[in-house]
Amino acid sequence: MIPANQAELDDFLRGFEDGTYPVKQWTHAAHLAMAGGYLTRMSADEALPFLRERIAAYNVAQGGVNTDSSGYHESLTVFWIKLVAAHLAGLDAAMLRVDKVRSVVETFAPRRDIFREYWSFDVVKSVEARRSWIPPDLRPLE
């Protein structure tokens, strides 16, 4: 999901918030566009509690569940919020919001597994990491 314009980004974020964005289109790129969309409007500290709630709610709205093996994942959510926020901080403040979101998607969509460079264990499968933030043990997040 690379938004073509601001209206498309706004429609996408509304669909995420109300749980109607099609789950078949809920790709890694869509996750990135969602994170970028919110992180252009709020700080990482503001975004995290909001996104914790909204991601879990979206999963349920689409028929999913948030358990120890599926759905919301705290460590990956925190990781991506921090990574996306750092990327956005390096962009020209004068860029249009939609262009910032495009930059996030274009930069990180091809690097879906970048989190593997940060943890020495399979963070995706870790129940503890799914439930709570486990800082990376291989490489710090700047």
pLDDT of residue 33: 97
Query: Chain centroid to CA 24: how far?
Result: 17
For the chain, which residues make up each domain, given as ranges? 6-131
pLDDT of residue 2: 85
| pTM for the predicted model, two decimal places | 0.92
Digitized pLDDT (tens) for each residue of the chain, 142 residues in all: 788 899 999 999 999 999 999 999 999 999 999 999 999 999 999 999 999 999 999 999 999 999 999 999 999 999 999 999 999 999 999 999 999 999 999 999 999 999 999 999 999 899 999 999 999 999 998 7
pLDDT of residue 35: 97
pLDDT of residue 1: 78
pLDDT of residue 27: 95
Virtual torsion, Cα 26, 65, 51, 86, nearest 10 deg: -60
Q: Which two tokens stand for residue 142?
A: 């700047």
* CA atoms of 26 and 110, how far apart (whole Å): 15
pLDDT of residue 78: 96
